[in-house]
Structure 1
């Protein structure tokens, strides 16, 4: 008979005691789809190639797509990071050209598949079009610039500025008179521009926000999309008379007219493309989606239905976490809301933040009314409301956390500096020393910042590009570790990290001109312990349900 020594017996007792007192391992999760994905992350400029396909630009997805007009099948022509296109067109030799709004680069892909930069350091590149003689024109729109330029299609000569400060000239096309026809966003007008002299004439007015124009095959009618009113309008030349051809949802971005005069209309809010028959105004879908660019997520911990608040960049939506039903949509352009990329919930308010146009907004949680808009151009990422009504904002570009006063005018105070790409925020205000947890996408850390004095403590390190963060009901931190395509749980006391799910479709590559973690991968946790995750690559929402 084998005998245990006294010391062995004590060791066994201590081991059993330790196992009894240790926290149970996190449950296994099953992954489920809340909202299925889309091939786009907001679709913008388009061009018909004359070969049965429609080219479509995908700015945030950094992709140029080709769409089969017969089937609606979508394929990728140019992928990230080179394909970050706001508008796209075809050159006389069949080359594809596109504008990089954030990168400031004009790109060209030749028919043999070679891609190169034609022009660079042009922030806010937006629309482009060729004249019949092969000369190429582009606009800079936003990002502090408002200009029309001529560029060399081969990139051998520097750009030549034609106009500046004219009222934001957007999607345009050349007419049969070799003059440029396009909308002035800020003036609600369609104008005719002589690119040789720089003279401008008004063709038609009275639009809410005209965003793009295209001629029909006979070059007699000019089609216009009005984003705010959701209208496709026919302008008859030379009289300028207007006629509404079709009514569509607001958020229209661009259009293209095929050789058969069918009109293809893109909607960045709904992330889709529809075909309008101008003969009878009928509308049919070509490519459909349910979300545009889901990023930041939030859910009220006491909500039994676990309704998700989704910062969808081109919209702010409420989505049923259990059934995936989209219950409410607030659309950009047709509302005072700017492009939301992060969202946080307070008792009475919703806080939205966006590096897209550089702002933080406070909304009434019940009505959705925008109560405050605070400009912030420092690559603002996560933002939340503290119990005293002040806001805490993560500036990814400066590496700061700043407080914003509850009262107007909104004064700011720096709480801490030196963070490396702060992206996600989650409050820990009920602790003895209230604080906030921050993900640092550059350093791979989760850091706790004390609210009283800004003192920092590293909670976890060695992560790869952590972005979204949320508190689990058991006190753990749930983090989207984007660089490793996984979801992890971090014990805030020990920093121990446990992988909950891997092989996730998250993490578009970063691009020039964008702050760290630009499209954040959002994480939220419901009271049931179900974890919700946004996918920027698929424009989808997922949930991870505890298996036991």
Structure 2
């Protein structure tokens, strides 16, 4: 990827684009100019890596649902498997040159043969994470998060998987050693372990890590390299003693690694969405693939800020970005903090409120102090939270896409949830309208294609617009109109809140990754925000970019 893709200077992508707007409380602009605030990336968080022996690094892209090849000399990225089949958390090469990858959300294990044919070779293994071949061709995968087990799998898919170990302690990125034992981190124990896959015996190799996530042997297969996601350290573990030595200190958020035949260590970072190369001889580090955002989804403009600073829920981080110059001025990272995979964000004078659509233990609401960034509250949201809005009294309104409900979460400890409205068709985006005579909130319904207004006093509903295709992000414009990302038609529209009239503002946008099996509606939402100047801001999940539409007089 060329360095020019990451310049801070915003470039016009469609100067002079005529975008007719509908009349509302004030006269809307007659046209907008589309610009890049933060340029994009090929990835939506880089995960598993494997050197293919042909001058490329295979890189898995879970949320982007793709598998890529990265040229080791130039850093050029190409796509081997695109969405939705390529939802890979880890990737490996088989003895015959086939590429294998794990579908964490789908629970499927995939294989692409050298002739380009792709098929599922195992199913119903939710949380599939890491995989590796033993020297004799036997194949092993592990479940993590949505399961905790090690399995042996037939590489051809003809035989059903065989469970080797149940609940080893979150066994993650592993590799077989010269002794045919499997070496890998036990995340929950902060250890590196050695597993005899024939007997199930687990032995400790090294300990004292914070969040060890992956290991690889050096080229001579004598020592292990370990990446720790919470500390950002690349550590060499000498065998058989287990003695540790820090080789390089990298940014936190490391996810996986691969070692080339020249002993260069390639490290992926899902928070920074990049790949770095470490020379273990001197600890020097260089970027191979660079990005500025990871998985930009929900966005919010800081109230009354003339610079229109944006908070970006970047899934693996919360970032603050200058709306005018595109500089990332603050990043709070998952794993090394208490942040929990933010997918939606709203901002008030005092607070930043985050929500995540991850189902299970990761699904939470989090309230942060806007001034200090300190985490004030974490509220479990087991049904998966999409859009979230904080009202003046501190009550939270939350869209539950999986259940079709709009709920209130009060300020008590522990928080109490009450249903304000139900039967919604995949509610995703929320825009509060609290200054109206009858305060309410606008809701996008990704499944039913509606925008609905829900009255806060009693939950009464009014359909504002229908016939949309997968509407997600929504924001209230200063002129009273609603700005909506209609993801299914890849366009930005304005909706007259009184009449429901829909006007197309921009089309052909790079938004809307296809839905993947095992994920709730609108899983990675396309975010929309409106500044006081009338500038419209939109995130791109496909390009991992942030765009703006500037009104032209």
What interval of TM-score do these two structures reach, taking the shorter chain for normalisation? over 0.9
User: Is 2:487 aligned against 1:494?
Assistant: no
Partner of 2:450 in structure 1? 445
After superposition, residues 193-204 of structure 1 pair within 5 angstroms as 193-204=195-206
Partner of 1:516 in structure 2? 521
Which of the residues 298, 301, 304 maps onto 1:302? 304
Contact 1:355 1:377 in 2 (8 A): no
Partner of 1:287 in structure 2? 289
Contact 2:33 2:552 in 1 (8 A): yes
Aligned-partner Cα distance in 2 for 1:497–1:148: 52
Partner of 1:259 in structure 2? 261
Q: Deviations over 1:408-436 (max 9, x none)?
A: 11111011110001000010111111110
Partner of 2:6 in structure 1? none
Q: Deviations over 1:311-365 (max 9, x none)?
A: 0000000000000000000000000010000000122111100012211111111
Aligned-partner Cα distance in 1 for 2:422–2:289: 45
User: Is 2:533 aligned against 1:528?
Assistant: yes
Q: How many residues align?
A: 529
Partner of 1:373 in structure 2? 378
Moved over 3 A (4+): 19-26
Q: Quick check: 367-376 or 102-111, which moved more?
A: 367-376
Partner of 1:107 in structure 2? 110
After superposition, residues 441-480 of structure 1 pair within 5 angstroms as 441-480=446-485
Partner of 1:421 in structure 2? 426
After superposition, residues 138-287 of structure 1 pair within 5 angstroms as 138-143=141-146, 145-287=147-289
Q: 1:437 and 1:21, CA in 2 relative to 1: closer, same or farther beyond 3 A?
A: closer
Q: CA deviation at 1:301?
A: 3.6
Q: CA deviation at 1:20?
A: 11
Partner of 2:19 in structure 1? none
Task: List runs of 5+ in structure 1 lacking aligned partners.
Answer: 1-18
Contact 1:301 1:525 in 2 (8 A): no
Partner of 1:12 in structure 2? none
Partner of 1:15 in structure 2? none
Partner of 1:16 in structure 2? none
Aligned-partner Cα distance in 1 for 2:337–2:447: 34
Partner of 1:5 in structure 2? none
Partner of 1:85 in structure 2? 88
Contact 2:26 2:479 in 1 (8 A): no
Q: Deviations over 1:371-414 (max 9, x none)?
A: 11111232320011111211111000000011111111111101
Partner of 1:11 in structure 2? none
Contact 2:388 2:430 in 1 (8 A): yes
Partner of 1:540 in structure 2? 545
Q: CA deviation at 1:22?
A: 9.1
Contact 2:25 2:480 in 1 (8 A): no
User: Is 2:127 aligned against 1:124?
Assistant: yes
Contact 1:150 1:161 in 2 (8 A): yes
Contact 1:214 1:223 in 2 (8 A): yes
Partner of 2:17 in structure 1? none
After superposition, residues 17-36 of structure 1 pair within 5 angstroms as 24=27, 26-36=29-39
Contact 1:298 1:524 in 2 (8 A): yes
Q: CA deviation at 1:77?
A: 0.2
Q: CA deviation at 1:217?
A: 1.3
User: Is 2:83 aligned against 1:56?
Assistant: no
Q: Deviations over 1:131-172 (max 9, x none)?
A: 0111111110002x1111111111111111111222100000
Q: Quick check: 376-385 or 307-316, which moved more?
A: 376-385
TM-score, reference length from structure 2: 0.94
Contact 1:213 1:225 in 2 (8 A): yes
Q: Deviations over 1:99-131 (max 9, x none)?
A: 000011000000000000000111000000000
Q: CA deviation at 1:21?
A: 10
Q: Deviations over 1:68-98 (max 9, x none)?
A: 1111100000000000000000001000000
CA RMSD of aligned residues (A): 1.2
Residue 142 of structure 1: SS of its match in structure 2?
coil
Contact 2:24 2:480 in 1 (8 A): no
Contact 1:404 1:410 in 2 (8 A): yes
Q: Quick check: 52-61 or 157-166, which moved more?
A: 157-166
Contact 1:191 1:204 in 2 (8 A): yes
Partner of 2:341 in structure 1? 339
Partner of 1:72 in structure 2? 75
Aligned-partner Cα distance in 2 for 1:21–1:472: 10
